[in-house]
Structure 1
Amino acid sequence: MNPDVLTFGVEEEFFVVDRRGHLSQAGDDVVDAAEAAEDVQGELQHELNLSQAEAATDVCSTHAEALRQLSGLREDLAKAARTRGYRLLPAGAPPLAETEPPKITPNPRYQRMAEHFGATAWTSLTCGCHVHVAIPDKASGIEVLNRVRPWLPALLAITANSAIVDGYDTGYASWRYHQWSRWPSAGPPPRFASLDEYESIVDGWLRSGAILDRGMIYWDVRLSEKQPTLEFRISDVAATPTEAVLLAVLARALVATALADGGPTPMLSNEVLRGRLWRASKEGVTGSCPHPRTGDLEPVKAVLDDLISLTAPALEAAGDLDFARETTARLVAEGGGADRQRRVFAEKSRADAVVDLLTG
């Protein structure tokens, strides 16, 4: 491995559901049980709602390493859930309708968030996938953030995995993206003139109470508050670990390409980017979205092909090029998580069949 290749890490959120597929209150118990098992590689974490569990890889250098860790962490959580009569559900939003929201995890920060934000917190029933990519410093991170913004719709399309929600077809490949956007600090970041501008917006949010702490900076891509990384937060939790790793290697390649590019920063207004993200969230990987360079609608496959061509030197240096090409081709041909959800829902006319599909 080239020592100049950027390291990365992946975080995944999951629902813990009962045998029928409804949200449980057992997320904390499942995380604690899985943590107690031997040879856990990575980190298991509690989440905002008691119906959720989170897994995070260690710092990774190769896609094979990330795939091994993500697969192992999912199995650790799934095994802990099974032994307690539950299932681990990798879906961006709950397929089944619930009669009441799950309870907030009894953590002082989460309780404060629930009191301050009300129903936004109580009904925040979404699971995402976050990719951290190493950056030299925050100032460089702002430059990279500005350059990768136009490609956010393509990254959203890759893992779109929340078409069937509350018992019906939403008409969107990623309904999670719209649910999550209710948080005041969520959505696409603007194009920043400097790190000072980034910080001034964060300061304004803190002063207004739109966020309670810096951990609530929920932009689709942001500077991480805990690691020297750029954190991509755009995506649904992927239906499979392989799809999550595809997202990760493309994000890493975009960062590496942006760091090497000394050209002008793309001019793209947030209003236009918001519209492009809407289109990507609606159609997913088998649909169309605006091309980052032209703004014209093109099949997502064509946009992803151009993304791979743009980042090919970085992908090749990291040993990811063949993996990215093969996985993207298979994903477009077979459909993503949202496409698979729709197929089984159309065939069975039951949302619990979607749960069965995803919990496998």
Structure 2
Amino acid sequence: MVSLAEDFTIGVEEEYQIINPVTRELCSRQQQILQIAEKVLGEEVQPEVYLSQIEIGTPVCKTLAEVRAEIVRLRQEVIAAAAKDGNQIAAAGTHSFSSWSEQEITPKERYQGLMRDYQQLTREQMIFGCHVHVGISDPQLALCVMNRARVWLAPLLALAASSPFWMGMDTGYASYRTEIWGRWPISGPPLIFESLAEYQALAEALIATGSVEEATKIYWDARLSERYPTVEFRVTDVCMTVDEAVMVAGLVRALARTCYEQAKIDEPFPAARHEVIRAAHWRAARYGLDTELIDVEAMRAVPAQELLEKFLAFVRPSLEEYGDWDEISSLVQQTMQHGNGATRQREVYKRTERLEDVVDFIVAQTAKGIT
């Protein structure tokens, strides 16, 4: 097995919806599906906050080809386990119409603790994300990567946005999951830290003040993992298709590598104010790829395609070094041409005016390319 301490390895976690194929609503069959899936996947499949959610985590991967193969394998097995239980699996940042009030919290201490501490925020946590871990063994350099990567998180969010509907309504957002998640007290874009000691002191202060129970509950969009020697990127909705998940993983790894190399030679980077970064994230969540995004470095609004081309140019040397440029640049162009998950869901609803059809579309997209 690849060492967790090896630099620039990749691990991907995806949170899925469990769908009743008749009503298309979320259904609380996590424990039954876990019993089936664990026989094949072991700890690669896990519970999540709600009993209508299930999470997978890939093994540590060295290449994007490995990432693709593992996501395909894990989706296949979870979909098969759900089918044996008479249900389906869907990958999107929110469910189109199910109500949070009808969901059951998973009876596990971690999630019950979240319920005790955060109350209504936990009750409404009916959202589904994708987390990408990039191995960086030196924690000081990992922190430098986090500092430098923060200005590029918004275009990642716009590319992967897949949560336009909430409680039966079109929210007007491409990633309404981002807005639900952003209400949590220690969430959203990370700050800039001058040193690892400063980062650790803040974490200790948040724990000492009772703001968080432990450092794993600091939920920034990029953070230093407490469990692994990685930078964990948590900014995007779960991707509907395998292709999109591979695209996000490839971009994240290339971003981390680019920032790492620049940090080693102490190359200057834009130390944008937190307010501007937050505004950039809000705009990416609101509009996705449909209009202008904020170029944080230039401090101006630019067409989404222009910012994505700038992002690709920034990470191109790293993508080329890994042999990933052709695949990732092509997947980004496809997403720009055909729309992110949010755009494609809205197109289905515009045609049929049935949110059940949107759920069917997401189920089909989740299984696309895995057979």
- TM-score w.r.t. the length of structure 1 is 0.95
Shift of the 99–152 alpha-carbon distance from structure 1 to 2, 3 Å rule, reads: closer
Change in 2 beyond 3 A, CA 1:286/1:66 = farther
2:318 alignment partner AA: A
Q: What amino acid maps onto 1:196 in structure 2? A: A
Q: Distance in 2 between matches of 1:15 and 1:28?
A: 13
Deviation at 1:334, TM superposition (A): 0.5
Corresponding residue for residue 13 of structure 1: 15
| Distance of 1:334 and 1:56 partners within structure 2 | 28
Query: Structure 1: 5+ residue runs without aligned partners?
Result: none
- Structure 2 distance, partners of 1:97, 1:16, is 11
Task: Indicate if the aligned counterparts of 1:146 and 1:266 stay in contact, CA closer than 8 A.
Answer: no
1:41 and 1:58 in contact (8 A); partners too: no
Q: Give the letter aligned to residue 284 of structure 2.
A: A
In the alignment, structure 1 residue 285 sits paired with structure 2 residue 289:
yes
Q: Distance in 2 between matches of 1:126 and 1:99?
A: 10
Residue of structure 2 equivalent to 1:81: 82
Deviation at 1:204, TM superposition (A): 2.3
Quote the residue 2:50 is aligned against. 49
* Cα deviation 1:49-80 (Å, max 9, x = unaligned): 11100011111111111111111111211111
Partner of 1:30: 33
**What corresponds to 1:223 in structure 2?**
224
Distance 1:87 1:13 in 2: 14
Q: Is the 8 A contact 1:129 1:234 kept in 2?
A: yes
Matches within 5 A, 1:158-237: 158-237=159-238
| C-alpha contact (below 8 Å) 1:41/1:57 kept by paired residues | no
Residue deviations 1:219-266, cap 9 Å, x none?
000000111000000000001111011111111111111111121232
Number of aligned pairs?
355
**CA distance in structure 1 between the aligned counterparts of 2:65 and 2:299, rounded to whole angstroms:** 34
Q: Label 1:23 to 1:211 Cα distance change in 2 as closer, same or farther (>3 A).
A: same
CA distance in 2, matches of 1:66, 1:285: 25
Letter in 2 for 1:15: Q
**What's the counterpart of residue 66 of structure 1?**
67
Of 299, 302, 305 in structure 2, the residue corresponding to residue 298 of structure 1 is 302
Unaligned stretches of 5+ in structure 2? Answer: 1-5, 365-371
Identify the match of residue 317 of structure 1 among 298, 317, 321: 321
Contact 1:167–1:350 (Cα < 8 Å) also in 2: no
1:120 aligns with 121
Q: Which amino acid aligns with 1:30?
A: I
Shift of 1:318: 1.0
How many angstroms apart in 2 are the aligned matches of 1:112 and 1:198?
25
Distance 1:70 1:288 in 2: 32
Instruction: Tell me which amino acid in the other structure corresponds to 2:29.
Output: A
Q: SS in structure 1 opposite 2:13?
A: strand
Contact 2:100 2:123 in 1 (8 A): no
Q: Judging changes above 3 Å, is the alpha-carbon distance between structure 1 residues 99 and 142 closer, same or farther for their aligned structure 2 residues?
A: closer
RMSD: 1.6
- Shift of the 41–250 alpha-carbon distance from structure 1 to 2, 3 Å rule, reads farther
Q: 1 CA distance for matches of 2:302 and 2:222?
A: 23
| One-letter code aligned to 1:349 | E
Aligned counterparts of 1:110 and 1:224: Cα–Cα separation in 2: 19
**Is the Cα contact below 8 Å between 1:42 and 1:57 reproduced in 2?**
no
SS of equivalent to 1:230: strand
TM-score (norm 2): 0.92
Name the counterpart of 1:151. Answer: 152
The answer (yes or no) to whether the contact 1:48–1:105 under 8 Å persists in 2 is yes
User: Within 1, Cα distance between the matches of 2:177 and 2:323?
Assistant: 32
CA deviation after TM superposition for structure 1 residue 32, in Å: 2.4
- Within 2, Cα distance between the matches of 1:97 and 1:342? 17
> Which amino acid letter does the alignment assign opposite residue 18 of structure 1?
N
Aligned mates of 2:43, 2:244 — CA distance in 1: 18
CA distance in 1, matches of 2:294, 2:287: 11
What is the identity percentage for the equivalent residue pairs of Structure 1 and Structure 2?
A: 36
In structure 2, give the amino acid aligned to 1:338: A
SS in structure 1 of the partner of residue 112 of structure 2: helix
CA distance in 2, matches of 1:214, 1:105: 21
- Asked whether the equivalents of residues 15 and 27 of structure 1 are also in contact (C-alpha less than 8 Å), the reply is no
Distance (Å, rounded) in 2 between the aligned partners of 1:41 and 1:339:
35
CA contact (8 A) 1:93 1:127 kept: yes
CA displacement at 1:42 relative to structure 2: 7.9
